[in-house]
Chains A and B, each alone.
Chain A
Amino acid sequence: AQSVTQLDSQVPVFEEAPVELRCNYSSSVSVYLFWYVQYPNQGLQLLLKYLSGSTLVESINGFEAEFNKSQTSFHLRKPSVHISDTAEYFCAVSDEGSGGSYIPTFGRGTSLIVHP
């Protein structure tokens, strides 16, 4: 079964500093990778995804993530964070799974706390 590890449960950072949120998954032949964000008191929403093609994917608000097959990682980065980026970030991985179900498996989440 697929497993997703988000090593950092909490990442505090100052505004305008760079940040990296780490995500590793157990190996699989073919995977689809997602980052979801949950702002305070809101539902989860997709931040970015990797399905195929370029291993570097970007979101509209400056986040990017790189699919590294050899290291089975999909780390999320932003060169300069804002206060408004404070949220819970979830990495999710979808593979063929049992019976070809492609049900996404989620990590435990990383709480990004941006300080002024």
Chain B
Amino acid sequence: GAGVSQSPSNKVTEKGKDVELRCDPISGHTALYWYRQSLGQGLEFLIYFQGNSAPDKSGLPSDRFSAERTGGSVSTLTIQRTQQEDSAVYLCASSLALLGYEQYFGPGTRLTVT
């Protein structure tokens, strides 16, 4: 079946512009996660959704970051007024549920802020 998809695969934007990153999880997966992967930094957890609800937004780096999920499916991560330090690969993952289930990762969106 189809895996987790993300779009765009690459995004180059100018400092100060807003960007929207999209994630399509595996159908039926109730949990969805956003991570940021920077070179040599591993995976930084940003936010997760259980259904359409995001119980804990404390992982978002600043108030310029926001995320939403609709219909228990597609999620968008929005970064307003992008900064150069936002440059990274943004990964989305989904799982059947939260408790101990395997995460399935998308290919990521490489964001470059110039």
Partner-B contacts on A (CB < 8 A): 9, 32, 34, 36, 42-46, 49, 51, 90, 94, 98-99, 101-109
A32 contact set on B, CB distance < 8 A? 99-100
Extra inter-chain contacts (6) besides given A36-B105, A101-B56, A106-B35, CB under 8 Å: A34-B102, A49-B102, A94-B100, A102-B99, A103-B98, A104-B45
A101 contact set on B, CB distance < 8 A? 48, 55-56, 98
Question: In whole angstroms, how far apart are the Cα atoms of A107 and B40 in the complex?
Answer: 11
Residue A102 contacts which of B35, B98, B105, B108 (CB distance < 8 angstroms)?
Answer: B98
Question: In whole angstroms, how far apart are the Cα atoms of A106 and B105 in the complex?
Answer: 13
Is B42 in the interface zone, CB < 8 Å from A?
Answer: yes
Residue A106 contacts which of B42, B55, B107, B108 (CB distance < 8 angstroms)?
Answer: B42
Residue A51 contacts which of B35, B91, B100, B105 (CB distance < 8 angstroms)?
Answer: B100
Given the known inter-chain contacts A43-B106, A45-B105, A101-B56, please indicate yes or no for A107 contacting B98, CB distance below 8 A.
Answer: no
Question: In whole angstroms, how far apart are the Cα atoms of A73 and B33 in the complex?
Answer: 25
Question: In whole angstroms, how far apart are the Cα atoms of A109 and B35 in the complex?
Answer: 14
The digit string for B79-114, where 1 denotes a CB below 8 A from any CB of A, is 000000000000101000011101111111000000
**Are A108 and B45 in contact, with the CB atoms below 8 A?**
no
**Are B48 and A103 in contact, with the CB atoms below 8 A?**
yes
Residue A44 contacts which of B40, B91, B100 (CB distance < 8 angstroms)?
Answer: B91
B99 contact set on A, CB distance < 8 A? 32, 102
**Are A108 and B100 in contact, with the CB atoms below 8 A?**
no
B106 contact set on A, CB distance < 8 A? 43
- Smallest CB-CB A-B distances: 3 pairs: A108-B42, A32-B100, A106-B43
Chain B residue nearest to A107 (CB atoms) is B42
**Are A44 and B105 in contact, with the CB atoms below 8 A?**
yes
Is B41 in the interface zone, CB < 8 Å from A?
Answer: yes
